[in-house]
Chain A
Amino acid sequence: MAELLEIKDLTKKKWDFKAKWSRRTRQNFWIGVLFLAPWFIGFILFTFYPLAASFVYSFSEYHSRKPLIWVGLENYQTMFTDKLFWTSLWNTLYMVIFAVPITLLTSFLCAVLLNLKVTGQSIYRVIYFLPSIVPTVASTLLWLWILNPQAGVMNTLLGHLGINGPNWLSDPTWSKPSLILLGMWGMGSTIVIYLSGLQDVPVSLLEAAELDGANWWQRLRYITIPMVSPITLFNLITGMIFMFQYFAQAYIFRGTQGLGSPLNSTLFYSVYLFQTGFQYLKIGYASAMAWVLFIIILVCTILMLKVSDRFTYYAG
């Protein structure tokens, strides 16, 4: 969030391009160039060049070591008729629409719980946070094991409650909820961000409301939630961007089966992009997909920022 505000500030500044540089300014310029050298070289090599190259690839048919063939908009047109492309886009949207809000809501509630005055509060905080630092590969494998149909603990525990657990891994309707569950287990960092937001809500405001007879729910609804709304917006945007790029978990979660198993239900956008680019070696098509992804993310972010102006409260 801070970086977005920073951009806003900087673009408001007036720049004077015609001003004559003094000796001091010129000297500073060259010192600045030297200090910036690591970033500048890296930017040209690892950001600008790949960006330009992938833009060119997206309009061509390209196999490495063979000359590039210009095909115009063909790659972009193919997407419209490519069934797997739409499947992967739908799978990704499913995660953006369901996983992001669910994770956000539950992590907010967890933060509320952790903010209560409870004995052993700091121990609970560690317990809630710890799963989020388990490496992705380890946590995904762990959940594959937990949701294992034969000897997994999940369905055994559900069985104790009298629930006949679904076939988490091989049923296409349950594979995405399984991944949401895995994501919720590791949402500790979102909880920490919310918790720090809750601690910043002025106690005086809450006490004043209590004296005026506001109950717990009213204080939460009319003070706490508006006060943490910038954090909600931040988490919403980062969560959305993360979900559009969702890859490693899905790649590992299929187990020994093919990418996207079961029945393409975990073929997310980035997974399909990986498959086209690095397995089928359709570099042009994959690059076009990457640009479409970039545009989707950009449009969604701008839309959210615009819409959120009405719902977000910035103190001060």
Chain B
Amino acid sequence: MATTVTSSKDVRAVISEERRASLRRKKIRDFFQSLFSHTMINLVGLFFLIPFIWMLVTSVKSDQDVFHTPPRWLPYDNVTVNVNGQQLPLYNVKTESGSKELALINIVEGMGTFVDPQNPTQELQYEIQQGTTKIAEPIMHVSFRWQNFPDAMERGSRPGVGASFWVYFKNSLIIAFFTIIGTLLSNTPVAYAFARINFPGRDILFIIVLATLMLPYQVTIIPLYLFFNDYLHWGNTFLPLLIPAFFANAWDVFLLRQFFKTIPEEMCDAARVDGASEWQIFTRIVLPLSVPVLATVTVFTFLYAWNDFTGPLLFLSSPDKFTMALGLRDFQGQRTMIWNQLMAASVVFTVPIVVAFFFAQKTFIQGIKLTGSKE
């Protein structure tokens, strides 16, 4: 009896020893696994984050700093001093008597005219560069140039036309607004009919709706272009972009129908028995229950209209009609690169969407899961 007890104690001791060892091994393994996953998720995260940061940093850089090599992660600007009522950039100049901080008045053919801030009456001349060695170098400090934003927005993409980025911004808003209205008004009754009204021919028509999803836009765009431009004379107006939105599209019909089908049929039938017309059931019962999916459609229509580049590119030709998307591209194509202002305008273009995302994060994610939409 006694011997068995001791042996079982021994066994228990051995088992717990083994368990402790295995637990220790698991802990070590877990530690390395977690270290690995943290490292990976951060490294990949940098790939997504750095371009964003670079966009923001560039948007507040001064003109002098934009093309600085190597690029700097903080925005720099000249240190300026007030000399005789003028703001002049301060330079570090190597003179015969050591280096001095002088204010630059102008540069003519590589020869800089400087003035000593302590002794503003005397003008001094130095070459900016001798061979490859720089004699005079600007003194820079970290400075955020917020002025890029109003500067960028108040200029147009082409000189002398007068339309500014504010006009483009307004045009984009107008187009997005009416596209959303049209999409909501036209798609909901169609989707309701496909989901809840039992009429002959419904299934055949629905197959046609789904089939149009597979049609690449390249096939229809040329006749549409000729139709809108040459036949209706809608060229250079918003109409070719807005009017089709008022005539339902396959994606939204499908999305809305799938949601409407989840609303209990019994509710609609009960209303029918009580003598409600289909229109009443649609507007009083189905629509009020469909706020989440209507929000999804609204958000995605906004994204689509705000982003759209090809449509405006085809139909809008004069700068006062440009959208933000078209204006940005035009800005880049027309001028020598003013990257800081271009990025500032891009930030203004992106901000409404990011704000919408933070307000309606769930709607965004839900919408992507529902449609699996690209772009």
Contact = CB atoms under 8 A, between A and B. Distances in A.
A31 B373 contact: no
Interface string B190-229: 1011100111111111111111111111111111111101
Contact of B354 (A1, A133, A293): A133
A69 interface: no
A15 to B, nearest CB: 7
B371 to A, nearest CB: 9
Interface stretch (A76-84, A147-155, A167-175): A147-155
B190 A150 contact: no
Nearest to A28: B199
B163 to A, nearest CB: 17
B346 A138 contact: yes
B329 interface: yes
Given A65-B230, A137-B328, A255-B332, A13 B203 contact: yes
B349 interface: yes
Given A11-B207, A255-B332, A278 B219 contact: no
B48 A113 contact: no
Interface string A44-77: 0111011101100100000011000000000000
B278 A31 contact: yes
Contacts of A118: 34, 37-38, 41
B346 A142 contact: yes
Nearest to A301: B214
A118 B282 CA distance: 45
B321 to A, nearest CB: 16
B47 interface: yes
Interface stretch (B3-11, B65-73, B136-144): B65-73
B219 A294 contact: yes
A2 interface: yes
A297 interface: yes
Nearest to A106: B44
* Interface range for B: 35 or more
B197 A54 contact: no
Nearest to A289: B218
Nearest to B326: A137
A189 B368 contact: yes
B223 A29 contact: no
Where chain B touches its partner, the secondary structure class is helix
B222 A142 contact: no
B231 to A, nearest CB: 9
A159 B190 CA distance: 57
Given A50-B219, A277-B222, A134 B353 contact: yes
Contacts of A136: 307, 309, 325, 375
A238 B375 contact: no
B222 A286 contact: yes
> For the complex, would chain A's binding face be called helix, strand, loop or mixed by DSSP majority?
helix
Given A39-B253, A113-B40, A185-B51, A29 B217 contact: no
Contact of B212 (A29, A47, A196): A47
A256 B209 CA distance: 40
Contacts of A159: 70
A28 B222 contact: no
A290 B225 CA distance: 14
Interface string A113-125: 1101010000010
A37 to B, nearest CB: 8
Interface stretch (A201-209, A243-251, A307-315): A243-251
A242 interface: yes
A136 B325 CA distance: 8
Contacts of A301: 214
Nearest to B369: A196
Contact of B215 (A51, A64, A196, A270): A51
B49 A54 contact: no
A127 interface: yes
Given A32-B197, A38-B247, A42-B244, A294 B222 contact: no
Interface string B309-349: 11001100000000011101100110000010011001001
Contacts of A86: none
Interface stretch (B52-60, B97-105, B107-115, B119-127): B52-60
B55 A142 contact: yes
A137 B309 contact: yes
Nearest to A152: B71
A189 B367 CA distance: 10
Contacts of B350: 134-135, 138
12 contacts: A13-B203, A35-B189, A50-B220, A51-B223, A133-B303, A137-B346, A157-B50, A242-B374, A242-B375, A245-B217, A283-B226, A290-B216
List the 4 closest A-B pairs by CB distance, nearest first.
Answer: A42-B247, A32-B199, A35-B193, A50-B220
Given A42-B248, A145-B54, 14 more contacts: A3-B213, A28-B197, A29-B200, A38-B247, A53-B223, A113-B40, A113-B41, A116-B41, A135-B324, A135-B353, A144-B332, A151-B71, A278-B225, A293-B219
Interface of B: 33-34, 37-38, 40-41, 44-45, 47-52, 54-55, 58, 66-71, 185-187, 189-190, 192-194, 197-227, 229-230, 244, 246-249, 253-254, 258, 278, 282, 303, 306-307, 309-310, 313-314, 324-326, 328-329, 332-333, 339, 342-343, 346, 349-350, 353-354, 357, 361, 364-365, 368-369, 372-375
